[in-house]
């Protein structure tokens, strides 16, 4: 039985890598995107049943205790909502979980307009302080606005920690336009909001790479005295803001803001997904006290 399973995985790997090789031979940007995704799928399909390292990337593992781990083997509605709390979900399908990835893609609804999709843990998981991390490959195209953030809506207050927001269609250096006329992301923003409209720290970070072709890690370490943001384990910003409201996790693909409005150059469909490999959260092993 185990031998047959290994043989099946080997055959699947060979097939996927053969397809990826063909995709990689294409000279346009879409070929490299397909190569990155197919290679990821092949590697995930070949994983042996063994312990996966779920330590915060670039952090000391002994300092943390894992409290939330979503590897997207399925879409668990006991953990996730598919719409923001003040709206009803759009019935048009533009998200799915397959091959261990959450995918959210640009799509027009019945009215012919692009619509926002929010996946969050509101009412299902929240936490104060800790380390929060996503590994993701971003979508491309004018108007797209992929993001990963923490949020709360107690009473009338709206505290928020934006760990990653990207605006491919925005003015440089948010991104660039490739040879096919499609806007691609190479920068993202991090922001801390004390309340709605009250930013207390922000930075636009230019990575110098196309964030839609490979998976990268975006994270925040949230402590009682402030927040520290990371990109692939590299510190990009420290904010000294004391926040103690429990917050839930949000991952979404919205449209507009600094990215502008989507147009005929914005690729639609699953091939242009905001792809998430995992979302994890940890609490500090040594208890911290709220202010």
Would residue 267 count as lying in a domain?
yes
pLDDT at 130 over 60: yes
Would residue 78 count as lying in a domain?
yes
* pTM of the full structure: 0.84
pLDDT at 27 over 50: no
CB atoms within 10 A of CB 15: 13
Same domain for 209 and 261, yes or no, is yes
Would residue 56 count as lying in a domain?
no
Same domain for 113 and 208, yes or no, is yes
Tens digits of residue pLDDT in 221-230: 999 999 999 9
Same domain for 95 and 124, yes or no, is yes
At 289 the pLDDT is 54
Same domain for 16 and 105, yes or no, is no
DSSP result, the chain = -HHHHHHHHHHHHHHHHHHHHHHHH-SSHHHHHHHHHHHHHHHHHT--S-----SPTTS-GGGEEEEEEE--SS--TTT-BSS-TTSPPPSS--EEEETTEEEE---B-TTS-B--EEEE-TTT--BSSEEEEEEEE---STTEEEEEEEE---TT---EEEEEE--TTSSTTSEEE-TTS-EEE-EEEEEEEEETTEEEEEEEEE-SS-TTTS-EEEEEEEETTEEEEEETTEEEEEE-----S-BEEEEEEEE-GGG----TTS--SGGG-EEEEEEEEEEESS-----
Same domain for 25 and 126, yes or no, is no
Would residue 125 count as lying in a domain?
yes
**How, if at all, do strands 187-195 and 198-206 pair?**
antiparallel
Same domain for 236 and 207, yes or no, is yes
Tens digits of residue pLDDT in 143-176: 999 999 999 999 999 999 999 999 999 987 899 9
At 29 the pLDDT is 54
Q: Is residue 113 exposed (0-12), middle (13-18) or buried (19+ Cβ within 10 Å)?
A: exposed
Same domain for 250 and 117, yes or no, is yes
Same domain for 69 and 40, yes or no, is no
Domain end point (choices 11, 27, 50) = 50
Give the count of domains, the chain. 2
Same domain for 12 and 127, yes or no, is no
CATH code of 243's domain: 2.60.120.200
> CB under 8 Å to 28, separation ≥6 — which residues?
178, 179, 180
Same domain for 7 and 98, yes or no, is no
Would residue 66 count as lying in a domain?
yes
Would residue 134 count as lying in a domain?
yes
User: How far is the C-alpha of 41 from the C-alpha of 13, rounded, in Å?
Assistant: 9
pLDDT at 37 over 70: no
Residue 171: half-sphere exposure toward Cβ, Cα within 13 Å: 0
Tens digits of residue pLDDT in 8-17: 444 455 555 5
pLDDT at 19 over 70: no
What percent of the chain clears pLDDT 70, i.e. is strictly above it?
81
Same domain for 66 and 29, yes or no, is no
Same domain for 69 and 37, yes or no, is no
At 49 the pLDDT is 43
Would residue 84 count as lying in a domain?
yes
The whole domain housing 155 covers 61-284
Q: Are 66 and 54 in contact (CB under 8 A)?
A: yes
Would residue 169 count as lying in a domain?
yes
């Amino acid at each position: 039985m185990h031998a047959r399973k290994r043989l099946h995985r080997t055959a699947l790997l060979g097939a996927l890598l053969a397809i990826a090789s063909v995709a990689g031979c294409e000279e346009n940007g879409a070929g490299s995107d397909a190569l990155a995704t197919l290679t990821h799928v092949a590697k995930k399909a070949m994983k042996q049943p063994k312990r996966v390292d779920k330590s915060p990337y670039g952090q000391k593992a002994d300092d943390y205790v894992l409290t939330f781990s979503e590897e997207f083997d399925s879409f668990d509605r006991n953990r996730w909502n598919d719409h923001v709390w003040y709206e009803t979900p759009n019935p048009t399908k533009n998200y799915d979980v397959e091959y261990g990835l959450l995918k959210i893609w640009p799509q027009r609804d019945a009215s012919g307009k692009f619509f926002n999709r929010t996946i969050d843990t509101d009412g299902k998981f929240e936490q104060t302080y800790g380390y929060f991390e996503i590994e993701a490959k971003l979508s491309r195209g004018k108007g797209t606005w992929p993001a990963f953030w923490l949020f709360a809506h107690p009473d009338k207050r709206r505290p928020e920690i934006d760990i990653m927001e990207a605006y491919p269609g925005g003015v440089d250096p948010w991104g660039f336009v490739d040879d096919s006329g499609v806007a691609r992301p190479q920068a993202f923003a991090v922001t801390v909001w004390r309340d709605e409209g009250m930013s207390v720290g922000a930075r636009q970070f230019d990575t110098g790479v196309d964030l839609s072709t490979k998976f990268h890690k975006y994270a925040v370490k949230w402590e009682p005295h402030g927040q520290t943001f990371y990109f692939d384990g590299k510190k990009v910003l420290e904010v000294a803001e004391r926040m103690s409201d429990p917050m839930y996790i949000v991952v979404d693909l919205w449209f507009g803001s600094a990215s502008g409005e989507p147009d005929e150059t914005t690729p639609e469909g699953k091939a242009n997904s905001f792809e998430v490999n995992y979302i994890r959260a940890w609490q500090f092993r040594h208890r911290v006290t709220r202010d």
